[in-house]
Amino acid sequence: MHEREADELGLRYLYRRLDLDVMGQPATAVGDVLAAARLVGYDGLNVTHPCKQLVLPHLDELSPDAEALGAVNTVVFRDGRAVGHNTDWSGFARAFDRGLPDAALDRVVLLGAGGAGAAVAHALLTLGTRRLTIVDVDAARAGELAGALGDRFGADRATGAAPATLDATLREADGLVHATPTGMAAHPGLPVDAALLRPDLWVADIVYRPLETELVRTARRLGCRVLDGGGMAVFQAVDAFRLFTGVEPDAERMLAHFTELVAGPGPDVRIS
Ligand SMILES: NC(=O)c1ccc[n+]([C@@H]2O[C@H](COP(=O)([O-])OP(=O)(O)OC[C@H]3O[C@@H](n4cnc5c(N)ncnc54)[C@H](O)[C@@H]3O)[C@@H](O)[C@H]2O)c1
Ligand SMILES: O=C(O)[C@]1(O)C[C@@H](O)[C@@H](O)[C@H](O)C1
């Protein structure tokens, strides 16, 4: 997606996957990878699960958003310094704005309080969600995230809740955002009971492989307004591309490329 957009813009741009599993390295080796990338002259890196927090001590500076979120998915090397940014939250916010404009934001339920869930929660509150209920099988994690958001946005804006309360909370909600791994090719299934989906509930899934998750398919069939995870994946890349190059990419063109890419076979992961 990055390379194709750069080709369109006439930029010379190499985007390489450095996969710790393929390298036989633990997640804690992210600092070594960062140092190696800096040494050999990369302009920056995207960082993904499970390294978005582990990378923090290896950075010289954080953008205000990355600092607030305590997570980095984009590192830019500039003037000898490694600067961490978070484009997951801005990517979700833009995708949401584009895909579900005018969606009611009075009461929203977020399922999943992990790294991506934290970025989505920041975006939802920034977009104006009045009351956000965060549900996670790890109820303590949901509570911690709600507490951190409360410090930034106001104590009454976010609440952590256990899965047992999901039915009651969803019945009163305007929208549901799903941010757990359920629905990915490796974790198929529906994260909530289909009986809880009703036509006046909007549903956003952030899983994007496949784009048409069981949740997206079921919610659409039941008449809900639906947003799939593709927009977030693309717009986080749009914001990262701008940070790496200083050039504004064509977001709609990247979205079209991405849709083509996810429809094809998965990447061939090999390092030689
Ligand atoms: N669209 C995008 O750009 C984008 C970006 C990052 C991640 N993602 C997607 O988001 C998913 C989550 O990523 P992450 O990095 O936050 O993972 P993570 O492992 O950090 O967090 C997942 C959270 O979900 C919770 N959980 C798991 N099953 C649950 C269930 N049945 N009910 C309630 N909570 C449950 C876990 O306890 C955990 O807190 C990924 O699997 C990926 O598909 C999408
Ligand atoms: O793991 C993913 O799904 C990501 O989309 C991969 C990578 O592009 C990162 O920049 C994103 O934060 C997360």
Ligand 2 binding pocket mutation candidate from 48, 87, 94 (most atoms within 8 A of CB) = 48
The residue assigned the tokens 């958003």 is: 65
How high is the pLDDT of residue 268? 52
Q: Which atom of ligand 1 is nearest to the CA of 191?
A: 31
Q: Residue 202: count other Cβ atoms within 10 Å of its Cβ.
A: 22
Helices then strands, counting H and E runs in the chain, come out as 11, 10
What are the angstrom distances between the C-alpha of 55 and each of 149, 235, 260? Answer: 21, 22, 31
52 is catalytic: yes
Give the pair of three-digit tokens for residue 206.
Answer: 């952030």
CA–CA gap between residue 25 and residue 156 (Å, rounded)? 42
The residues spanned by each domain of the chain are 2-86+237-263, 89-228
Residues 6+ apart with CB under 8 A from 160: 113, 134, 135, 136, 139, 141, 142, 143, 144, 145, 146, 147
Q: Check if 2-86+237-263 and 89-228 are the same fold.
A: yes
- Going by C-alpha positions, the residue among 39, 145, 241 that lies closest to residue 31 is 39
Q: Is the Cβ–Cβ distance between 166 and 142 less than 8 Å?
A: no
Q: Distance (Å, rounded) from C-alpha 119 to C-alpha 88?
A: 6
Q: Is 180 in the pocket of ligand 2 (CB under 6 A)?
A: no
Q: Which two tokens stand for residue 219?
A: 């919610």
**Residue to substitute in 1, 49, 73, 212 for testing ligand 1 pocket (most ligand atoms within 8 angstroms of CB):** 49
How is domain 89-228 classified at the CATH fold level? Rossmann fold (3.40.50)
Give the model's pLDDT for residue 272.
33
* Predicted ipTM of the assembly: 0.98
Question: What CATH number matches the domain at 2-86+237-263, 3.40.50.150, 3.40.50.10860, 3.40.50.720, 3.40.50.300?
Answer: 3.40.50.10860
Q: What is the pLDDT along the chain (272 residues), one digit of tens a residue?
A: 999 999 999 999 999 999 999 999 999 999 999 999 999 999 999 999 999 999 999 999 999 999 999 999 999 999 999 999 999 999 999 999 999 999 999 999 999 999 999 999 999 999 999 999 999 999 999 999 999 999 999 999 999 999 999 999 999 999 999 999 999 989 999 999 999 999 999 999 999 999 999 999 999 999 999 999 999 999 999 999 999 999 999 999 999 999 998 887 765 544 33
Q: Which of 52, 58, 131, 178 is catalytic?
A: 52
